Amino acid sequence: MNLVDRAEASVPPLAALVVAVLAVSTSAILVRWSGAPSIVKAFYRVLFTTLLLAPFAFTRYGTALRSLSARDLLVAGGSGLALALHFATWFESLRWTTVAASVTLVQSQPVFVAVGATLLLDERVGRTKAAGIAVALVGMVLMSAAEGGGAASRPLYGNALAVVGAVMVAAYYLAGRSLRQRVPLVPYVVVVYGVCAVALFAFVLGDALAAGRALGPTLFDYPTEEWLLFLGMAVGPGIFGHTVFNWALGHLEASVVSVSLLGEPVGSTLLAVVLLSEVPDLLTLAGGAVVLGGIYVTTRAREAEPPDPEDPVGDPTPD
């Protein structure tokens, strides 16, 4: 057993899960603290995560990376593009709506995965799953009607962007799930994140050209605090959040991990109250509770179905 394996064996899975929930709960706060353009924040979040994971991927999983076929790379490209659209829309949503609304709505991706799998992959819709989807949609309508308690400048627009972000991360999941079944976690994430970073760079370039700005200042003209926030987004939510969630799936029941994901909206909302003095209104809280209930029912219904051989064990949202 090498050093990495010994380190993994010494970590209690439940403790790792708690760390992951806390880490992903900081994502929205770090995004809000940064004053950089949303698309730039998203680019560096993904780029730094990729650079941190790449050495480990190439040294330990070089064979898996070299064995990827042209079809695999094409699938990874589609998955990475969907992920780039997820980050772009979700980061932008945090400019216009509350942390509570944005994080809860973007976490509704299991609902859209269920809908997409039904429409595209002919998965059956049982009564329980249909009920969960319906409940979550009702909660989204309630949240969209909320005014944000004065903490949101354009809540309806921001909420809509968060829903688009949820749809895009569901597309990322559905596009890459067959590849994820055959490729280990770290090389899969590095390839998909690499494509995602390239796509986000193209978005940054297009945005700069459209606004008549020079690319250099758009990418590099930031104080030290901003660079620390970019790195924090990668290390916290990226490495200790998303990657640890995926690691936990190999050591805990999927139901435990999926339910723990519902802790991110709760944790982010509490952190926003303390660190941003952002108190959501009652309609946002009520709608959020309904959405989380619908996500829980939908997720448990999918887990109760017979396993799909093309479906990976799991792939939590990468926020």
pLDDT digit string (tens) for 240-277? 988 887 777 667 766 667 677 788 888 999 999 999 99
Asked whether the predicted pLDDT for residue 314 surpasses 70, the reply is: no
Highest mean pLDDT among 35-39, 140-144, 182-186, 315-319: 35-39
Question: Mind giving me the DSSP string for the chain?
Answer: --HHHHHHHTS-HHHHHHHHHHHHHTHHHHHHH--S-HHHHHHHHHHHHHHHHHHHHHHHSHHHHHT--HHHHHHHHHHHHHHHHHHHHHHHHHHHS-HHHHHHHHTTHHHHHHHHHHHHH-----HHHHHHHHHHHHHHHHHHH--GGGS-SSHHHHHHHHHHHHHHHHHHHHHHHHHHHHS-HHHHHHHHHHHHHHHHHHHHHHHHHHHT--HHHHHH---HHHHHHHHHHIIIIIIIIIIHHHHHHTTS-HHHHHHHTTHHHHHHHHHHHHHH-----HHHHHHHHHHHHHHHHHHHHHHHSPPPTTS-S------
pLDDT at 213: 87
> Which of 130-134, 149-153, 226-230, 281-285 is the least confident region?
149-153
Least confident residue range of 168-177, 275-284, 309-318 = 309-318
Q: Which residue has the tokens 């949609």?
A: 137
Instruction: Say if residues 268 and 33 touch (Cβ distance below 8 Å).
Output: no
pTM beyond cutoff 0.95: no
- Segment 125-163, tens digit of pLDDT: 778 878 888 888 888 888 777 765 566 678 889 999 999
| Residue 45 near residue 226 (C-beta atoms within 8 A) | no
Q: Flag whether pLDDT at 313 surpasses 50.
A: no
- State residue 290's pLDDT score: 87
**Whether pLDDT at 75 is above 80:** yes
- Under the banding of pLDDT at 50, 70 and 90, the label for residue 4 is very low
- Residue with the larger pLDDT of the pair 50 and 176: 50
pLDDT given at position 164: 95
**Mean pLDDT of all residues in 185-192:** 86
Share of residues in the chain with pLDDT > 90 (%): 34
Instruction: Determine the Cα–Cα distance for residues 182 and 123; give it in Å rounded to an integer.
Output: 21
Which residues have a Cβ under 8 Å from the Cβ of 195 and sit 6 or more positions away? 76, 77, 79, 80, 81, 83, 84
Q: Tens digits of per-residue pLDDT, 90-117?
A: 999 999 999 998 998 998 888 888 788 7
Q: Is the pLDDT of residue 26 over 70?
A: yes
- CA-CA distance, 245 to 206, in Å (whole number)? 33
How much is the pLDDT for 316?
60
What percent of the chain has a predicted confidence (pLDDT) above 70?
86
- For the chain, give every domain's residue range: 38-222+279-304
Give me the chain's average pLDDT, please.
Answer: 84
